[in-house]
Structure 1
């Protein structure tokens, strides 16, 4: 099993900013502000008069800001290329009110940016918006998770289809929240009805069983039933609820397409499983 390859994106370039890494011949990184499927993000009344962008280090000890009109350019100057930065962009109207906002994923390692481009998706505030591209296939009735703080992953469900036709529901599909494009992933060991994510791994649950899939190692392992749970069918199709201490809960009472149960599958932070009950 291999990690998904990101589909090529075609961004709308609104303005760019140069970031210089510290070296004898520093590379230049461009920041592209992209607006996705909405074409009037900057021109909609009230129109954007100025764009402000801030780069912040993960450690909290570095913050850089710059401004430019839409379509303009600016330069952050010399920035160490070994830092982890996040970028936030805001667009303000002539009265100074924020009407457009967006941010990058967190902790971008500047030296590891391929292609020399950091995209930042922005949208009108208090409105729905669609980022560029989309999933290659639609999985009907399927769960979805965020993997490695970068990929939206979906797999399983009742059916999977695209403009090219139907596909096996076990196939996986990803949307890259850095590259802003869809990607087709490998087939999973089972058609998931519920999922839980752990950094670079996902737990897939269907009526017949459960499997951990590790994208770092390219392997998967079937999981034994936790003590007291008669079948994974008692929780498969249930919604996943996340807790602040790193645990996840697949709730049998919320099962889709099946009889609700009182069973709750607890997935601990280390990936081990336990059974809880609502009553």
Structure 2
């Protein structure tokens, strides 16, 4: 009897500790921010990734390998979108006479780039981007395998988390990199939406974002999304150095 009482005394704290752990898990799940009230996040989205709010309606991230790829793909697209959206706005302020949708054409480039061979430029960009993407895929498959400089041997970057080099010379993170990562992906997601808005708006109105905003504010009833349905300013093709490139209008309308 004494042995049974001793055994019971030993097992009771174990049950209590398990219950305590369950309570902690439930409490953590309740405190987690999700994309909508009352939704249940997929079990593979545990809130550990920056910007993870349990959103994956198609279950694309159920495969751990695919999830790593999608996470890095979103991060890269977010960073390009932030650069692109800022570039469009800055270009329209600095050179408002150049329409951003046509700013990349040779005739709109500054000297001495007006005579640059666009075919060669695109080929060089393709090769460089291909090299970078292959290296990024290698890092996703084997994290840390591409930290060494491929040209200047011996140089190595700090890469504590995939996609983040740990670069913070001004100490903005104050030791909390997760918060900065979350802010970055939030701003990146907004930038991706904004850039697509810039493109569709340009196709529908033929104006840059600041010019379109000014037109809307001057006449909200006459310049809005409803008035632009069925119009598209994008030509069916564009000639670049003797090469005819077909174009597609993403905005529902006609040429």
Question: If each structure's helix is expressed as a fraction of its own residues, which one has the higher value?
Answer: 2
Higher strand fraction: Structure 1 or Structure 2?
1
TM-score normalised per structure 2:
0.24
Choose 1 or 2 for highest CA Rg.
Answer: 2
TM-score w.r.t. length of structure 1: 0.22
Q: Which has the higher contact order (CA 8 A, sep 6+)?
A: 2
